Structures are given as structure tokens and as C-alpha cells.
Amino acid sequence: MDDSDTDLKNDIGETNIALWGSDLHQRVRERAGDVESAWDDIGQDEGLWIWRIEDFKVVPWPDDRKGQFYDGDSYIILHTYKKTPGTQALAHDLHFWLGSQTSLDEAGTAAYKTVELDDRKLFINHFRPNLTTLHVVDLGGLPTQYRECQYYESQRFRSYFPQGIRILTGGVRTGFSHPEPDTPRPPKLFQITANSVTEVRLPVKYLEEGDVYVFEPGGEANTPPAIMQYNAKGSTGKERFKAAEVSKELAGELGEVQVYDGDASVPFFRALDIPYPPEAPSRGQAGVSEPILLRILPSATPPYTPLPTVTREALDPSDIFILAGPKAIYVWMGSQASREEKRTIMAAAQGFIKEKGLRPETSIVRVVEGNETKAFWDTFPEN
């Protein structure tokens, strides 16, 4: 396996948009092209658009699969909405979602295409049939941009999918084929939270406390499935109800479902060949306990310096700042900031996350002066 096919699972915190000038950037640029084409009418009305990265190309994701993602892929999501009801002014949220098993090339292409919007004020190809002319789409100001990592999606991202998101194993690189009727069923494990159903790759070493799990041990095609549901300590009624729906879906009409709680859950863990009680390793914090405000200094090491106070008044239009909070790391981009500063913002944010020992998957949100989100302003202590 060459470097271009390396899974992101061990490097997801090190890639992000901080790839300019690297070999990866050069490879992505050569394969993806500066501008493949542009789309027609995308972002000009309210709506939600999703694309998947396939061999350096940006391919529309079907409407009937919105909310379903594969852990081996990278996706781009554009949400266009009216920021103030009753007006015609549109706002835009731009996300790129990285599956835990996506390749560096796929993640790099997703990041490259989102930054392309900043430089050109146009977006990626919608691949509409018979689209032969170039339609430049100005989104009317830079959108709020989010880096989303599997398991650590922002609340904003999750809000687009009221029924929750479903993450399956596999992806465009592994392909998909319908099994023959007599093919034995492979074992499958699903992790259920209040907002998501995620297929977990087997084998596993531990289970997360506070979630619900559904296990299909597999078996011969003509035998009814015996589904096992584990309600972890601290899991909510909503999670257990959603898990019951998944269990019923897997069991079908002829299968059975066995539910395990507390100390009676040993058979569930035995089926997965992991010890009970569960002991999940510490994954670090997703944010800082007290807000921190830093000014980005591209030529310095590290490329940022903390400010003595965390106030709105400290934000200077000619600079770029990092605002670290308990739920996310925000990068605020002043309207007069230099091009050099803009190129270093995500690298600086990632460096701060690493320095503080935060989760590599910690949410990074880039906001632009004049288009700040409520969540950004609420992070300041005076709120």
C-alpha cells in the first residue's frame, strides 16, 4: 500500500486543510484540477447539497441517501439558508466530513475543494447532464466552514438530519456488490447514539460507555438472525428506542432480539470476545474548560500568541484569531487579513489542538467577520 492509499484513521488530526505546499497538495491539485467545472444554481436558493469524493472527483450524493455516509469516504456538504426569516439574504454553511477510514488523498481533495471556494468564490462541479458551460457561482460572501470528523460531528451538521445519520463501513474504494442468496451473513456491530447509527468495524477492543450497541453475530443465510442489544450504563431512552428499531430491522420477521442491561450483559461481551466490565481508554478533551483567545502570527513559532483577555473588542479586522472553547475551536478571519494569514489558519488551529492535548478530531469552525455564528459569540465569557 503506497502513501496515497494510507487510511486517515491514524492521521486525521494531522491532515485537515494544512496541506498547502506538501506532496499531498501537489498530487491532489494535479488529479483534481484547479476547476473541474462549476455548478448551475447551486447555493442560489435554500437547500442542502452533498457530494462524495471519488477518485479525486466531486460526485453528487443522491437525495435519497442524505444522512447516510461511509467511513471510508470523504464528503462535502453545503447548506444554504435564510439567516434572517422574512428576508431574501442567504447564508451558507460549508462542511467537509472525513470518515475514520478515508484515505489522505480523499481527505485532501475534500479540503482542497472547500478552500477553492475562498480563492475563487465559486464551487465544485454539480455534474449535471449536458452541462457544458461554466457557471460561476458567487455565494455572496465566504461561508462558515466546518471540518467534521466521524464520531465528532458538530451540532450544526447533525441538525441537517432530523432522523439522525447512519454511518456504514466501506466506501468508494471497496465498492459494493449484492451477495448471493446463499451467502452466509457476516457479523455486524452497530453503535447507537441519540443522533446516529454507526456500523463499527470488527473486531473491537472496547465499547463506549453511555451508548447502545446492536450486534448481529452472523450465520447461515437461511437461519433467522439472533440479534443482541446492549444498553450501556448511562444510555438514554431515546438511544434505546432507536436501537430497538435497528434491532427489529436486522431481525426481520423471523429473527429474535435479546436485550442485555448492566451485569446481565456478560453474554454480549463474550460474543464480541472483549472483557466485561468495559474499560474504554481516555480519548482526551474535545475543548478547553475556559475560553482562550489567540492572535495568529504566520511567521512566529508557534504561529499564534495568546491574548491576556478574551473579549469581542480584541478582534481586529486586519488579523486572524483562534477562539478556543469547550465545544469547538473557532478561527475568526478578519475582513482585512492578509493572504498569508488566511493560508495558515487551519494549520495554526491544528497546532493549538495538538499543543493542548485535545482530541485530534476536535471540531474546527472557520467564521468570517460579519458572518459570525451565534455559537461563536456565545463562547466569549461576557455571554
Residue 180 pLDDT grade (very low, low, confident, very high; cuts 50, 70, 90): low
Q: Read off the DSSP letter of residue 185.
A: B
CA distance 281 to 172: 31
Burial of 309 (0-12, 13-18, 19+ CB in 10 A): exposed
- pLDDT-derived band at 127 (thresholds 50, 70, 90) equals very low
- Among candidate residues 318, 363, 362, the one with its CA nearest the CA of residue 342: 318
CA distance 154 to 369: 21
- The pLDDT mean for the chain works out to 82
Residues 298-333: tens digit of each pLDDT: 888 888 999 999 999 999 999 999 999 998 999 999
pLDDT at 141 over 70: no
Catalogue all structural domains in the chain, each as residue range(s) with its CATH number.
Answer: 3-168 (3.40.20.10), 188-272 (3.40.20.10), 292-378 (3.40.20.10)
Residue 9 has pLDDT above 80, yes or no: no
d(CA 188, CA 226): 12
> What is the C-alpha separation between 29 and 40, in angstroms, rounded?
23
Burial category of 92 from C-beta neighbours within 10 Å (exposed 0-12, middle 13-18, buried 19 and up): buried
132-148 mean pLDDT: 59
| Res 202 pLDDT > 80 | yes
Categorize the per-residue pLDDT at 179 as very low, low, confident or very high, splitting at 50, 70 and 90. Answer: low
Which of 65-74, 78-87, 117-126, 244-253 comes out lowest in average pLDDT? 117-126
pLDDT-based confidence at residue 41 (cuts at 50, 70, 90): low
Prediction pTM value: 0.79
In the sheet with 90-98, reading across from the earlier edge strand, the strands are 57-60, 47-54, 74-82, 90-98, 144-149, 364-368, 329-333, 320-324, 292-296, 304-306
Percent of the chain with pLDDT over 90: 47
**pLDDT above 60 (res 88):** yes
Specify the pLDDT at position 44.
77
